[in-house]
C-alpha cells in the first residue's frame, strides 16, 4: 500500500491510499480556502447519562446533489471537488461538516443549571471514499480494493487512537436515503470519540461480568454456540463466521466474528 498525505485548501488533511507501485499523488486543491464554521458541542443527557453530540453547522452540508455535482467524485472537467485528483483508489479526508472536531477544544458555554452539563465536541470525523466510481457500492469492490479499504481503516484507527483525548475509534458506513445518507457516492466514515459510546460501554461491561462469573471469553463462547446451533449461520469461512444474532434488533442484522481473537482492527492479519 502507498500512502500519500496532503492538505485541502482550507487546511483539512487528505490521505490517498493506492496499491504498491502506483503513481505518487501530487494534486493540489485549487479552491480558495473557505473553512466552515465548526462548533460541535457535547451535552450530557440527564436522564440516561449518555453524551449526545450537537452539531448545528451540519445543517449546511450538501444534501443529495445530482451526480454531476457530487463532492466525493474526482476533480474532472474543470470542476473541483473534495478530492483534487482526476482519479483515485481509496481516499480519506477530514469531514468539512464534522460532528466532532479538534476545533472544538475551547471552553464549553456556561449552563444555567447543573443538570445541563456541556463539554466541547473535541474529536475528529473523517470521510472514507471506497472508490471513484459514483455508481458503485462496497459490494462491487474487488477483493484487492476491499483489502485497500481495510488497510485504510487500520491505518486511520491506529493514528486516530493515538490522538490526545480519544477514547474510541469507530469505522462505519450508513447507506441509503432511508437512513438519512445525504451523499449517494460509495463512502463511509470514521469517528474518533472523546468518550466511550453507550453500546460499546455496555458490551465491555457485559464481557467483563461474564469473564468474572465464568472465567471465559463471551465473544468466543457466543461464536462457538452459534456455530453449534447453526440455525442462524449465514456464512462460515476459514477465518470468519457470519450469523444473524439470537436477539437481533434490526429487520436485517448480521454479525461477523473472527475465529482468532484480536483486540482491534490493527491486530488483524
Q: How many residues does the chain have?
A: 269
- Residue 187 known to be catalytic: yes
CA proximity to 96, closest of 108, 87, 106, 83: 83
Measured at the CA of 192, the angle between CA 5 and CA 268, to 5 degrees, comes to 75
CA proximity to 103, closest of 118, 125, 83: 125
Q: Which grid cell is 201?
A: 460501554
Residue whose grid cell is 456541556: 118
Which one of the listed residues 89, 134, 185, 187 is annotated catalytic?
187
3-state helix vs strand vs coil in the chain, percent to 5:
25, 25, 50
- Find out whether 190 and 171 touch, Cβ atoms under 8 Å: yes
- Find out whether 133 and 87 touch, Cβ atoms under 8 Å: no
Q: Taking the CB of residue 20, how many other CB atoms lie within 10 A of it? A: 6
Q: Residue 179 phi/psi, 5° resolution?
A: -100, 5
Beta bridge partners of 257: 241
The dihedral formed by the CA atoms of 76, 81, 84 and 87, expressed in degrees to the nearest 10: -50
Q: Which grid cell is 86?
A: 482526476
Q: So which residues are the catalytic ones?
A: 187
Amino acid at each position: 500500500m502507498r500512502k500519500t498525505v496532503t492538505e485541502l485548501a482550507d487546511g483539512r488533511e487528505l490521505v490517498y491510499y493506492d496499491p504498491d507501485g502506483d503513481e505518487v499523488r501530487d494534486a493540489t486543491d485549487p479552491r480558495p480556502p473557505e473553512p466552515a464554521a465548526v462548533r460541535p458541542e457535547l451535552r450530557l443527557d440527564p436522564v440516561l447519562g449518555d453524551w449526545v453530540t450537537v452539531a448545528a453547522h451540519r445543517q449546511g452540508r450538501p444534501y443529495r446533489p445530482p451526480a454531476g455535482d457530487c463532492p466525493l467524485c474526482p476533480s474532472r472537467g474543470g470542476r473541483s471537488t473534495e478530492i483534487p485528483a482526476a482519479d483515485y483508489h481509496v481516499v480519506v479526508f477530514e469531514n468539512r461538516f464534522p460532528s466532532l472536531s479538534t476545533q472544538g477544544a475551547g471552553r464549553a458555554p456556561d449552563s444555567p443549571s447543573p443538570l445541563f452539563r456541556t463539554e466541547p465536541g473535541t474529536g475528529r470525523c473523517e470521510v472514507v471514499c471506497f472508490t471513484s466510481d459514483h455508481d458503485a457500492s462496497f459490494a462491487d469492490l474487488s477483493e484487492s480494493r476491499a483489502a485497500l479499504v481495510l488497510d485504510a481503516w487500520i491505518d486511520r484507527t491506529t493514528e486516530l487512537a493515538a490522538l490526545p483525548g480519544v477514547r474510541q475509534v469507530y469505522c462505519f458506513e450508513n447507506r441509503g436515503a432511508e437512513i438519512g445518507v445525504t451523499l449517494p457516492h460509495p463512502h463511509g466514515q470514521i469517528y474518533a470519540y472523546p468518550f466511550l459510546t453507550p453500546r460499546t460501554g455496555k458490551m465491555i461491561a457485559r464481557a467483563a461480568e461474564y469473564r468474572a462469573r465464568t472465567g471465559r471469553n463471551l465473544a468466543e463462547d457466543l461464536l462457538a454456540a452459534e456455530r453449534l446451533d447453526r440455525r442462524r449461520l449465514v456464512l462460515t469461512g476459514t477465518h470468519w463466521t457470519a450469523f444473524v444474532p439470537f436477539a437481533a434488533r434490526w429487520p436485517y442484522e448480521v454479525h461477523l466474528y473472527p475465529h482468532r481473537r484480536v483486540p482491534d482492527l490493527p491486530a488483524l492479519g
